[in-house]
Protein backbone atom coordinates (compact mmCIF):
# COMPACT_ATOMS: atom_id res chain seq x y z
CA UNK A 1 0.00 0.00 0.00
CA UNK A 2 1.46 3.28 -1.12
CA UNK A 3 1.81 6.30 1.16
CA UNK A 4 1.16 9.51 -0.83
CA UNK A 5 4.05 12.01 -0.90
CA UNK A 6 4.22 15.66 -1.93
CA UNK A 7 6.08 18.91 -1.28
CA UNK A 8 3.72 21.88 -1.58
CA UNK A 9 0.89 20.96 0.78
CA UNK A 10 -1.33 18.14 1.98
CA UNK A 11 -4.76 17.63 3.57
CA UNK A 12 -6.39 14.48 4.93
CA UNK A 13 -9.92 14.00 6.24
CA UNK A 14 -12.58 11.27 6.43
CA UNK A 15 -14.33 12.46 3.25
CA UNK A 16 -12.59 12.91 -0.09
CA UNK A 17 -14.59 16.00 -1.08
CA UNK A 18 -13.65 17.76 2.14
CA UNK A 19 -9.96 16.91 1.66
CA UNK A 20 -10.15 18.35 -1.86
CA UNK A 21 -11.81 21.51 -0.57
CA UNK A 22 -8.90 22.04 1.80
CA UNK A 23 -6.30 21.35 -0.88
CA UNK A 24 -7.90 23.87 -3.22
CA UNK A 25 -7.49 26.51 -0.52
CA UNK A 26 -3.78 25.66 -0.29
CA UNK A 27 -3.53 25.98 -4.07
CA UNK A 28 -5.13 29.43 -3.81
CA UNK A 29 -2.37 30.50 -1.44
CA UNK A 30 -4.11 29.81 1.85
CA UNK A 31 -2.48 28.53 5.01
CA UNK A 32 -2.94 25.08 6.52
CA UNK A 33 -5.23 26.75 9.07
CA UNK A 34 -7.45 28.19 6.33
CA UNK A 35 -7.42 24.83 4.55
CA UNK A 36 -8.73 23.13 7.68
CA UNK A 37 -11.56 25.65 8.04
CA UNK A 38 -12.58 24.87 4.45
CA UNK A 39 -12.28 21.13 5.11
CA UNK A 40 -14.30 21.37 8.32
CA UNK A 41 -17.05 23.39 6.65
CA UNK A 42 -17.23 20.96 3.74
CA UNK A 43 -17.50 18.03 6.16
CA UNK A 44 -20.50 19.73 7.75
CA UNK A 45 -22.21 19.57 4.35
CA UNK A 46 -21.08 16.14 3.07
CA UNK A 47 -20.64 14.19 6.34
CA UNK A 48 -23.40 15.63 8.54
CA UNK A 49 -23.90 12.53 10.67
CA UNK A 50 -20.42 12.93 12.13
CA UNK A 51 -19.82 16.65 12.38
CA UNK A 52 -21.27 20.09 11.83
CA UNK A 53 -21.56 23.68 12.99
CA UNK A 54 -23.72 22.57 15.91
CA UNK A 55 -20.84 20.80 17.69
CA UNK A 56 -17.46 21.48 19.33
CA UNK A 57 -13.88 21.42 18.05
CA UNK A 58 -10.29 21.37 19.27
CA UNK A 59 -7.15 22.46 17.43
CA UNK A 60 -3.41 21.95 17.62
CA UNK A 61 -1.33 24.27 15.43
CA UNK A 62 2.40 23.57 15.15
CA UNK A 63 4.66 26.20 13.65
CA UNK A 64 8.05 25.60 12.04
CA UNK A 65 9.74 27.72 14.75
CA UNK A 66 8.89 25.02 17.31
CA UNK A 67 5.85 26.72 18.83
CA UNK A 68 2.64 24.73 19.24
CA UNK A 69 -0.65 26.26 20.34
CA UNK A 70 -4.04 24.78 21.16
CA UNK A 71 -7.54 26.13 20.60
CA UNK A 72 -10.29 24.96 22.91
CA UNK A 73 -13.63 25.52 21.15
CA UNK A 74 -15.78 23.68 23.67
CA UNK A 75 -19.18 25.13 24.54
CA UNK A 76 -20.30 25.49 28.14
CA UNK A 77 -23.40 24.12 29.82
CA UNK A 78 -26.49 26.34 29.64
CA UNK A 79 -27.10 28.52 32.67
CA UNK A 80 -30.62 27.09 32.88
CA UNK A 81 -29.41 23.48 32.89
CA UNK A 82 -29.84 22.75 36.58
CA UNK A 83 -30.32 19.57 38.58
CA UNK A 84 -33.89 20.71 39.30
CA UNK A 85 -34.63 21.01 35.58
CA UNK A 86 -33.78 17.36 34.97
CA UNK A 87 -35.37 16.16 38.20
CA UNK A 88 -38.66 17.87 37.31
CA UNK A 89 -38.52 16.18 33.90
CA UNK A 90 -38.18 12.81 35.64
CA UNK A 91 -34.57 12.11 34.64
CA UNK A 92 -31.94 10.48 36.82
CA UNK A 93 -29.44 10.73 33.93
CA UNK A 94 -29.34 13.23 31.08
CA UNK A 95 -31.04 11.77 27.99
CA UNK A 96 -28.89 11.13 24.92
CA UNK A 97 -31.42 12.61 22.47
CA UNK A 98 -33.89 15.47 22.40
CA UNK A 99 -33.98 19.02 23.69
CA UNK A 100 -32.65 18.29 27.17
CA UNK A 101 -29.62 16.64 25.54
CA UNK A 102 -28.92 19.83 23.56
CA UNK A 103 -27.69 21.66 26.64
CA UNK A 104 -24.27 23.08 25.69
CA UNK A 105 -23.29 25.89 23.32
CA UNK A 106 -21.79 24.78 20.00
CA UNK A 107 -18.17 25.94 19.98
CA UNK A 108 -17.04 24.82 16.50
CA UNK A 109 -17.52 28.13 14.70
CA UNK A 110 -15.72 30.02 17.47
CA UNK A 111 -12.80 27.64 16.90
CA UNK A 112 -12.76 28.56 13.22
CA UNK A 113 -12.81 32.23 14.21
CA UNK A 114 -9.92 31.89 16.66
CA UNK A 115 -7.89 29.79 14.22
CA UNK A 116 -8.31 32.30 11.40
CA UNK A 117 -7.04 35.07 13.69
CA UNK A 118 -3.92 32.95 14.21
CA UNK A 119 -3.63 32.43 10.45
CA UNK A 120 -3.82 36.17 9.83
CA UNK A 121 -0.68 36.59 11.93
CA UNK A 122 1.19 34.56 9.30
CA UNK A 123 -0.10 36.17 6.09
CA UNK A 124 -3.09 38.11 4.71
CA UNK A 125 -6.31 36.10 4.95
CA UNK A 126 -8.33 34.66 2.11
CA UNK A 127 -11.93 35.94 2.06
CA UNK A 128 -14.29 33.99 4.28
CA UNK A 129 -16.65 33.32 1.39
CA UNK A 130 -13.74 31.61 -0.37
CA UNK A 131 -13.13 29.31 2.60
CA UNK A 132 -16.81 28.38 2.81
CA UNK A 133 -17.30 28.14 -0.96
CA UNK A 134 -17.26 24.37 -1.33
CA UNK A 135 -19.43 23.77 1.73
CA UNK A 136 -22.01 26.21 0.35
CA UNK A 137 -21.90 24.47 -3.02
CA UNK A 138 -22.47 20.99 -1.62
CA UNK A 139 -25.22 22.16 0.70
CA UNK A 140 -27.06 24.11 -2.01
CA UNK A 141 -26.57 21.99 -5.15
CA UNK A 142 -26.27 18.53 -3.62
CA UNK A 143 -23.96 15.79 -2.35
CA UNK A 144 -24.14 12.01 -2.37
CA UNK A 145 -25.33 10.26 0.79
CA UNK A 146 -22.54 8.00 2.07
CA UNK A 147 -22.93 4.39 3.14
CA UNK A 148 -22.19 5.18 6.79
CA UNK A 149 -24.69 8.05 6.88
CA UNK A 150 -27.47 5.93 5.37
CA UNK A 151 -26.71 2.97 7.64
CA UNK A 152 -26.75 5.09 10.79
CA UNK A 153 -29.96 6.85 9.81
CA UNK A 154 -31.64 3.48 9.40
CA UNK A 155 -30.15 2.05 12.59
CA UNK A 156 -30.98 5.10 14.74
CA UNK A 157 -34.29 6.01 13.08
CA UNK A 158 -36.45 5.24 16.10
CA UNK A 159 -34.49 7.44 18.49
CA UNK A 160 -33.98 10.28 16.01
CA UNK A 161 -37.46 10.80 14.62
CA UNK A 162 -38.76 12.40 17.83
CA UNK A 163 -37.65 15.81 16.56
CA UNK A 164 -40.10 16.91 13.86
CA UNK A 165 -37.61 19.03 11.91
CA UNK A 166 -35.12 16.16 11.85
CA UNK A 167 -37.76 13.59 10.89
CA UNK A 168 -39.22 15.62 8.04
CA UNK A 169 -35.76 16.45 6.64
CA UNK A 170 -33.81 13.18 7.01
CA UNK A 171 -36.61 10.61 7.23
CA UNK A 172 -39.34 11.92 4.88
CA UNK A 173 -42.40 9.66 4.72
CA UNK A 174 -40.66 7.47 7.34
CA UNK A 175 -37.98 6.46 4.81
CA UNK A 176 -34.41 7.42 5.80
CA UNK A 177 -32.06 8.77 3.18
CA UNK A 178 -30.54 5.96 1.12
CA UNK A 179 -26.92 5.44 0.13
CA UNK A 180 -26.22 7.00 -3.25
CA UNK A 181 -29.09 9.49 -3.12
CA UNK A 182 -28.38 13.13 -3.87
CA UNK A 183 -29.45 15.40 -1.05
CA UNK A 184 -29.34 19.15 -0.59
CA UNK A 185 -29.42 21.30 2.55
CA UNK A 186 -30.55 24.72 1.31
CA UNK A 187 -31.11 26.12 4.82
CA UNK A 188 -27.58 25.12 5.84
CA UNK A 189 -26.31 26.77 2.66
CA UNK A 190 -28.12 29.97 3.66
CA UNK A 191 -26.53 29.79 7.12
CA UNK A 192 -23.07 29.43 5.62
CA UNK A 193 -23.71 32.35 3.26
CA UNK A 194 -24.83 34.43 6.23
CA UNK A 195 -21.61 33.60 8.09
CA UNK A 196 -19.56 34.49 5.03
CA UNK A 197 -21.34 37.86 4.80
CA UNK A 198 -21.64 38.82 8.47
CA UNK A 199 -18.55 37.10 9.88
CA UNK A 200 -18.13 34.08 12.11
CA UNK A 201 -18.93 35.99 15.28
CA UNK A 202 -22.49 36.37 13.97
CA UNK A 203 -23.00 32.72 14.94
CA UNK A 204 -23.12 33.91 18.55
CA UNK A 205 -24.52 37.41 18.10
CA UNK A 206 -27.19 38.90 15.83
CA UNK A 207 -30.10 37.41 13.92
CA UNK A 208 -28.56 33.98 13.29
CA UNK A 209 -27.86 33.47 16.96
CA UNK A 210 -31.35 34.67 17.89
CA UNK A 211 -32.92 32.20 15.47
CA UNK A 212 -30.88 29.29 16.78
CA UNK A 213 -31.65 30.18 20.39
CA UNK A 214 -35.38 30.34 19.59
CA UNK A 215 -35.31 26.98 17.79
CA UNK A 216 -33.45 25.36 20.67
CA UNK A 217 -35.91 26.70 23.22
CA UNK A 218 -38.82 25.44 21.12
CA UNK A 219 -37.19 21.98 21.04
CA UNK A 220 -36.97 21.90 24.83
CA UNK A 221 -33.32 22.89 25.22
CA UNK A 222 -32.25 24.95 28.25
CA UNK A 223 -29.94 27.05 26.03
CA UNK A 224 -30.78 30.73 25.62
CA UNK A 225 -29.32 33.65 23.69
CA UNK A 226 -27.27 34.81 26.71
CA UNK A 227 -25.37 31.50 26.57
CA UNK A 228 -24.42 32.26 22.96
CA UNK A 229 -23.38 35.84 23.69
CA UNK A 230 -20.94 34.84 26.41
CA UNK A 231 -19.16 32.10 24.44
CA UNK A 232 -15.55 32.45 23.27
CA UNK A 233 -12.97 29.94 22.13
CA UNK A 234 -9.77 29.80 24.17
CA UNK A 235 -6.25 29.89 22.74
CA UNK A 236 -3.98 28.11 25.21
CA UNK A 237 -0.91 25.95 25.65
CA UNK A 238 -1.28 22.28 24.70
CA UNK A 239 -0.42 19.37 26.94
CA UNK A 240 2.97 17.88 26.14
CA UNK A 241 5.10 14.98 27.30
CA UNK A 242 8.66 13.99 26.46
CA UNK A 243 9.34 10.46 25.22
CA UNK A 244 12.37 8.68 23.78
CA UNK A 245 11.00 9.40 20.29
CA UNK A 246 10.29 13.09 20.77
CA UNK A 247 7.75 15.49 22.23
CA UNK A 248 4.07 14.56 21.98
CA UNK A 249 1.23 17.10 22.12
CA UNK A 250 -2.48 16.92 22.81
CA UNK A 251 -5.37 18.88 24.34
CA UNK A 252 -5.82 19.80 27.97
CA UNK A 253 -8.99 18.97 29.92
CA UNK A 254 -11.92 18.85 29.48
CA UNK A 255 -10.72 16.52 26.69
CA UNK A 256 -9.25 13.04 27.13
CA UNK A 257 -6.04 14.25 25.48
CA UNK A 258 -4.25 13.43 28.72
CA UNK A 259 -5.16 9.76 28.27
CA UNK A 260 -3.69 9.72 24.76
CA UNK A 261 -0.40 11.14 26.04
CA UNK A 262 -0.30 8.89 29.09
CA UNK A 263 -0.69 5.72 26.99
CA UNK A 264 2.37 6.55 24.90
CA UNK A 265 4.40 7.91 27.83
CA UNK A 266 3.77 4.73 29.85
CA UNK A 267 4.40 2.40 26.90
CA UNK A 268 7.71 4.21 26.37
CA UNK A 269 8.77 2.99 29.83
CA UNK A 270 7.94 -0.69 29.24
CA UNK A 271 10.22 -3.43 27.83
CA UNK A 272 10.40 -2.94 24.08
CA UNK A 273 10.28 -5.43 21.23
CA UNK A 274 11.50 -4.80 17.69
CA UNK A 275 8.40 -6.30 16.07
CA UNK A 276 5.18 -4.30 15.69
CA UNK A 277 2.04 -6.26 16.62
CA UNK A 278 4.12 -8.52 18.85
CA UNK A 279 2.65 -9.60 22.17
CA UNK A 280 4.89 -7.07 23.94
CA UNK A 281 3.73 -4.26 21.66
CA UNK A 282 0.00 -4.97 21.94
CA UNK A 283 -0.11 -6.02 25.58
CA UNK A 284 2.01 -3.05 26.62
CA UNK A 285 -0.22 -0.54 24.86
CA UNK A 286 -3.42 -2.20 26.12
CA UNK A 287 -2.22 -2.22 29.72
CA UNK A 288 -1.00 1.37 29.39
CA UNK A 289 -4.48 2.21 28.12
CA UNK A 290 -6.03 0.76 31.26
CA UNK A 291 -3.83 2.85 33.52
CA UNK A 292 -4.48 5.98 31.44
CA UNK A 293 -8.25 5.40 31.38
CA UNK A 294 -8.37 4.82 35.14
CA UNK A 295 -6.71 8.20 35.61
CA UNK A 296 -9.00 9.81 33.02
CA UNK A 297 -12.20 8.43 34.54
CA UNK A 298 -11.34 9.89 37.94
CA UNK A 299 -9.39 13.04 37.24
CA UNK A 300 -10.20 14.53 33.80
CA UNK A 301 -13.17 16.86 33.42
CA UNK A 302 -13.81 20.60 33.19
CA UNK A 303 -12.32 21.58 36.57
CA UNK A 304 -9.30 23.92 36.49
CA UNK A 305 -7.58 21.60 38.95
CA UNK A 306 -7.88 18.75 36.42
CA UNK A 307 -5.73 20.70 33.97
CA UNK A 308 -3.24 21.75 36.63
CA UNK A 309 -2.84 18.19 37.90
CA UNK A 310 -2.31 16.55 34.50
CA UNK A 311 0.21 19.18 33.42
CA UNK A 312 2.18 18.46 36.58
CA UNK A 313 1.97 14.68 36.09
CA UNK A 314 3.16 14.78 32.48
CA UNK A 315 6.21 16.81 33.49
CA UNK A 316 7.12 14.48 36.38
CA UNK A 317 9.19 11.50 35.09
CA UNK A 318 9.22 9.80 38.49
CA UNK A 319 5.41 9.89 38.72
CA UNK A 320 5.14 8.43 35.22
CA UNK A 321 7.69 5.77 36.17
CA UNK A 322 5.57 4.86 39.19
CA UNK A 323 2.43 4.57 37.04
CA UNK A 324 4.25 2.43 34.47
CA UNK A 325 5.51 0.15 37.26
CA UNK A 326 1.92 -0.91 37.92
CA UNK A 327 1.82 -2.64 34.54
CA UNK A 328 2.54 -6.36 34.42
CA UNK A 329 3.93 -7.65 31.13
CA UNK A 330 2.58 -11.15 31.84
CA UNK A 331 -0.90 -10.55 33.25
CA UNK A 332 -3.85 -8.44 32.10
CA UNK A 333 -5.21 -6.00 34.67
CA UNK A 334 -8.91 -6.78 35.34
CA UNK A 335 -11.05 -4.35 33.38
CA UNK A 336 -14.48 -3.20 34.52
CA UNK A 337 -14.24 0.54 33.89
CA UNK A 338 -17.16 2.46 32.41
CA UNK A 339 -16.64 3.29 28.76
CA UNK A 340 -16.80 6.75 27.18
CA UNK A 341 -18.87 7.23 24.04
CA UNK A 342 -18.59 9.53 21.06
CA UNK A 343 -18.02 9.73 17.31
CA UNK A 344 -16.36 12.52 15.43
CA UNK A 345 -14.16 13.64 12.52
CA UNK A 346 -10.42 14.32 12.56
CA UNK A 347 -8.61 16.26 9.86
CA UNK A 348 -5.07 17.44 9.31
CA UNK A 349 -3.15 19.74 6.98
CA UNK A 350 0.42 20.93 6.45
CA UNK A 351 1.27 23.79 4.10
CA UNK A 352 4.42 24.65 2.15
CA UNK A 353 5.66 26.87 5.00
CA UNK A 354 5.58 23.97 7.43
CA UNK A 355 2.55 25.05 9.46
CA UNK A 356 0.90 21.81 10.65
CA UNK A 357 -2.68 21.54 11.91
CA UNK A 358 -4.39 18.72 13.79
CA UNK A 359 -8.10 19.40 14.29
CA UNK A 360 -11.07 17.40 15.52
CA UNK A 361 -14.71 18.42 15.34
CA UNK A 362 -17.82 16.56 16.44
CA UNK A 363 -21.51 16.39 17.27
CA UNK A 364 -20.72 13.66 19.88
CA UNK A 365 -23.25 10.96 18.89
CA UNK A 366 -24.18 10.44 15.24
CA UNK A 367 -26.43 13.44 14.40
CA UNK A 368 -25.80 14.74 17.93
CA UNK A 369 -28.90 15.24 20.04
CA UNK A 370 -31.15 14.56 17.06
CA UNK A 371 -32.39 18.15 17.34
CA UNK A 372 -32.39 19.94 14.00
CA UNK A 373 -32.81 23.70 14.01
CA UNK A 374 -35.30 24.59 11.25
CA UNK A 375 -34.12 28.20 10.79
CA UNK A 376 -30.42 27.32 10.36
CA UNK A 377 -30.40 23.69 9.17
CA UNK A 378 -27.99 22.61 11.94
CA UNK A 379 -27.89 19.39 13.91
CA UNK A 380 -27.14 20.27 17.54
CA UNK A 381 -24.65 18.30 19.59
CA UNK A 382 -25.43 16.25 22.70
CA UNK A 383 -22.01 16.65 24.30
CA UNK A 384 -23.60 17.77 27.54
CA UNK A 385 -25.23 14.36 27.93
CA UNK A 386 -21.94 13.25 29.44
CA UNK A 387 -22.56 15.33 32.58
CA UNK A 388 -23.50 13.42 35.73
CA UNK A 389 -26.63 14.59 37.51
CA UNK A 390 -24.71 15.13 40.72
CA UNK A 391 -24.01 18.32 42.68
CA UNK A 392 -20.30 17.52 43.02
CA UNK A 393 -17.61 15.11 41.89
CA UNK A 394 -16.34 14.08 38.46
CA UNK A 395 -18.05 15.84 35.52
CA UNK A 396 -20.91 17.01 37.69
CA UNK A 397 -23.70 19.22 36.35
CA UNK A 398 -22.72 22.82 37.04
CA UNK A 399 -24.28 25.54 34.86
CA UNK A 400 -21.58 27.30 32.85
CA UNK A 401 -19.10 24.41 33.09
CA UNK A 402 -17.49 22.47 30.25
CA UNK A 403 -18.37 18.79 29.73
CA UNK A 404 -15.87 15.95 29.61
CA UNK A 405 -14.83 15.46 25.97
CA UNK A 406 -13.58 12.40 24.15
CA UNK A 407 -12.28 14.68 21.38
CA UNK A 408 -8.51 15.03 21.19
CA UNK A 409 -6.24 15.99 18.27
CA UNK A 410 -2.64 14.75 18.40
CA UNK A 411 0.71 16.04 17.17
CA UNK A 412 4.37 15.20 17.67
CA UNK A 413 7.83 16.63 17.07
CA UNK A 414 10.18 13.68 16.60
CA UNK A 415 13.85 13.81 17.52
CA UNK A 416 14.96 13.60 13.88
CA UNK A 417 13.05 16.74 12.88
CA UNK A 418 9.83 15.16 11.60
CA UNK A 419 6.54 16.82 12.57
CA UNK A 420 3.48 14.58 12.73
CA UNK A 421 -0.22 15.42 13.03
CA UNK A 422 -2.61 12.53 13.53
CA UNK A 423 -5.95 11.56 14.99
CA UNK A 424 -9.16 9.60 14.57
CA UNK A 425 -12.84 9.49 15.37
CA UNK A 426 -14.25 6.94 17.75
CA UNK A 427 -14.77 8.05 21.34
CA UNK A 428 -13.11 5.41 23.53
CA UNK A 429 -11.03 4.28 20.59
CA UNK A 430 -9.37 7.63 19.91
CA UNK A 431 -6.44 7.31 22.35
CA UNK A 432 -5.97 3.64 21.43
CA UNK A 433 -5.89 4.21 17.68
CA UNK A 434 -3.59 7.19 18.13
CA UNK A 435 -1.26 4.92 20.09
CA UNK A 436 -1.41 2.21 17.43
CA UNK A 437 -0.69 4.57 14.54
CA UNK A 438 2.03 6.54 16.31
CA UNK A 439 3.88 3.55 17.76
CA UNK A 440 3.76 1.61 14.51
CA UNK A 441 5.12 4.52 12.52
CA UNK A 442 7.46 6.34 14.90
CA UNK A 443 8.82 3.45 16.98
CA UNK A 444 8.66 0.48 14.61
CA UNK A 445 9.11 2.17 11.22
CA UNK A 446 5.91 0.88 9.63
CA UNK A 447 5.04 2.99 6.53
CA UNK A 448 2.44 5.61 7.39
CA UNK A 449 -0.44 4.32 5.25
CA UNK A 450 0.25 0.75 6.36
CA UNK A 451 0.28 1.87 9.99
CA UNK A 452 -3.34 2.97 9.55
CA UNK A 453 -4.46 0.04 7.41
CA UNK A 454 -3.09 -2.72 9.63
CA UNK A 455 -5.56 -4.51 11.94
CA UNK A 456 -6.53 -2.56 15.03
CA UNK A 457 -7.70 -3.27 18.53
CA UNK A 458 -10.23 -1.63 20.83
CA UNK A 459 -10.60 -2.01 24.57
CA UNK A 460 -14.08 -1.03 25.63
CA UNK A 461 -16.94 0.49 23.71
CA UNK A 462 -18.13 -0.47 20.29
CA UNK A 463 -20.40 1.80 18.29
CA UNK A 464 -23.50 2.35 20.38
CA UNK A 465 -22.77 -0.48 22.86
CA UNK A 466 -20.96 -0.75 26.16
CA UNK A 467 -18.40 -3.49 26.38
CA UNK A 468 -15.22 -4.20 28.32
CA UNK A 469 -13.80 -6.90 26.05
CA UNK A 470 -10.67 -6.49 23.93
CA UNK A 471 -11.83 -6.39 20.33
CA UNK A 472 -9.50 -7.41 17.52
CA UNK A 473 -9.80 -7.10 13.77
CA UNK A 474 -8.65 -10.14 11.77
CA UNK A 475 -5.02 -10.33 10.77
CA UNK A 476 -3.10 -10.52 14.05
CA UNK A 477 -0.71 -13.44 14.45
CA UNK A 478 -2.69 -16.32 16.06
CA UNK A 479 0.18 -16.96 18.49
CA UNK A 480 -0.03 -13.33 19.64
CA UNK A 481 -3.81 -13.60 20.10
CA UNK A 482 -3.31 -16.79 22.12
CA UNK A 483 -0.65 -15.11 24.25
CA UNK A 484 -3.06 -12.23 24.95
CA UNK A 485 -5.74 -14.72 25.99
CA UNK A 486 -3.25 -16.59 28.18
CA UNK A 487 -2.41 -13.31 29.91
CA UNK A 488 -6.08 -12.87 30.81
CA UNK A 489 -7.40 -10.61 28.06
CA UNK A 490 -11.03 -11.31 27.11
CA UNK A 491 -10.88 -11.38 23.30
CA UNK A 492 -13.74 -10.59 20.92
CA UNK A 493 -13.17 -10.96 17.19
CA UNK A 494 -14.62 -8.30 14.85
CA UNK A 495 -14.94 -8.16 11.05
CA UNK A 496 -12.07 -6.69 9.11
CA UNK A 497 -11.89 -2.96 8.37
CA UNK A 498 -14.63 -2.29 10.89
CA UNK A 499 -15.78 1.34 11.08
CA UNK A 500 -16.09 1.06 14.87
CA UNK A 501 -12.30 1.08 14.93
CA UNK A 502 -12.37 4.71 13.92
CA UNK A 503 -11.49 6.81 10.90
CA UNK A 504 -7.80 7.60 11.36
CA UNK A 505 -5.51 9.90 9.44
CA UNK A 506 -2.01 11.35 9.63
CA UNK A 507 0.42 13.68 7.87
CA UNK A 508 4.17 13.85 8.46
CA UNK A 509 6.55 16.61 7.40
CA UNK A 510 10.16 15.51 7.13
CA UNK A 511 13.08 17.77 7.89
CA UNK A 512 13.76 18.22 4.15
CA UNK A 513 10.19 19.39 3.50
CA UNK A 514 8.80 16.11 2.15
CA UNK A 515 5.21 15.43 3.14
CA UNK A 516 3.61 12.02 3.49
CA UNK A 517 -0.02 11.41 4.38
CA UNK A 518 -2.47 8.63 5.05
CA UNK A 519 -6.18 8.12 5.37
CA UNK A 520 -8.33 5.28 6.68
CA UNK A 521 -9.97 2.79 4.31
CA UNK A 522 -12.60 2.38 7.04
CA UNK A 523 -13.84 5.90 6.15
CA UNK A 524 -14.84 7.77 2.99
CA UNK A 525 -11.66 9.82 3.18
CA UNK A 526 -8.64 10.57 1.06
CA UNK A 527 -5.33 12.36 1.09
CA UNK A 528 -5.30 15.43 -1.15
CA UNK A 529 -1.86 16.77 -2.04
CA UNK A 530 0.13 18.82 -4.51
Q: Give yes or no: residues 155 and 288 share one domain.
A: no
> What's the CATH number where 441 sits?
3.60.20
Known catalytic residue at 344: yes
Residue 465 forms part of a structural domain: yes
Instruction: Print the domain residue range for 280.
Output: 240-342+410-523
Q: Is residue 35 part of a domain?
A: no
Cα distance between residue 262 and residue 256, in whole Å: 10
Residue 73 pairs in a beta bridge with: 57
**In a shared domain, residues 420 and 312:** yes
Marked catalytic residue, from 12, 68, 108, 344: 344
Q: Are residues 415 and 505 in the same domain?
A: yes
> Are residues 330 and 469 both part of a single domain?
yes
In a domain, 415, yes or no: yes
Quick check: is 426 in a domain? Answer: yes
Per-residue pLDDT of the chain (530 residues; tens, 9 = 90+): 789 999 999 999 999 999 999 999 999 999 999 999 999 999 999 999 999 999 999 999 999 999 999 999 999 999 999 999 999 999 999 999 999 999 999 999 999 999 999 999 999 999 999 999 999 999 999 999 999 899 999 999 998 988 899 999 999 988 999 999 999 999 999 999 999 999 999 999 999 999 999 999 999 999 999 999 999 999 999 999 999 999 999 999 999 999 999 999 999 999 988 789 999 999 999 999 999 999 999 899 888 899 999 999 999 999 999 999 999 999 999 987 666 555 578 999 999 999 999 999 999 999 999 999 999 999 999 999 999 999 999 999 999 999 998 889 999 999 999 999 999 877 778 899 999 999 999 999 999 999 999 999 999 765 455 677 899 999 999 999 999 999 999 999 988 887 777 789 999 999 999 999 999 988 888 999 99
For residues 176 and 247, membership in a common domain is answered with no
Which of 258, 222, 262 has its CA nearest to residue 85? 222
Using CB atoms within 10 Å of the CB of residue 309, give its burial: 0 to 12 exposed, 13 to 18 middle, 19+ buried.
middle
My answer on whether 150 and 299 are in the same domain is no
Q: Are residues 273 and 166 in the same domain?
A: no
Tell me, what DSSP letter sits at residue 163?
Answer: S
Among candidate residues 130, 157, 181, the one where a domain is terminated: 181
Burial class of 122 by CB neighbour count within 10 A (0 to 12, 13 to 18, 19+)? middle
Q: Mark whether 263 and 152 lie in a shared domain.
A: no
Write down which residue in 163, 181, 199 finishes a domain: 181
Q: Select from 181, 202, 230 the last residue of a domain.
A: 181
How does the average pLDDT of the chain come out, rounded? 94
What pairs with residue 420 in β-bridges? 412, 508
pTM of the model: 0.95
Cα 478–Cα 482–Cα 484 angle in degrees, nearest 5: 115
Task: State the burial class of residue 87 (Cβ atoms within 10 Å of its Cβ: 0-12, 13-18, 19+).
Answer: exposed
Residue 195 lies in a domain: no
Q: Are residues 309 and 422 in the same domain?
A: yes
Summarised one tens digit per residue, pLDDT across range 229-273 is: 999 999 999 999 999 999 999 999 999 999 999 999 999 999 988
Same domain, 156 and 256: no
Domain-located, residue 513: yes
Whether 172 is in a domain gets the answer yes
Is 318 found in the same domain as 246? yes
Instruction: Tally the domains of the chain.
Output: 2
pLDDT digits (tens, 9 = 90+) for 33-42: 999 999 999 9
Residues 338, 439, single domain; the answer is yes
In a domain, 28, yes or no: no
Amino acid sequence: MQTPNSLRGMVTSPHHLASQAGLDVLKDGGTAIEAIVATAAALAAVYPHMTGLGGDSFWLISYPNGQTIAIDACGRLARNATLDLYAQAGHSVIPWRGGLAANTVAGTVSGWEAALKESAKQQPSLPLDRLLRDAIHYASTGRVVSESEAALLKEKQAELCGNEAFRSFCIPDDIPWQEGEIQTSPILAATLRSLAHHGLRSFYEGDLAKGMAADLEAAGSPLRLDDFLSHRAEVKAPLDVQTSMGTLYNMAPPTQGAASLLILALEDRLPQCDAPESYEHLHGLIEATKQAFRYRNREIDGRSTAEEDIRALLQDPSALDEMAARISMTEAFPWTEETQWGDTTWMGAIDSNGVAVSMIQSLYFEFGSGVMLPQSGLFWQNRGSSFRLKPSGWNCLLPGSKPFHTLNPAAARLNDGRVMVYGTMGGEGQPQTQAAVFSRYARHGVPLQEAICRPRWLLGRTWGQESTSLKLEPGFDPTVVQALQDAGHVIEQLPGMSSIMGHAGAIVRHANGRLEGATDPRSDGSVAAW
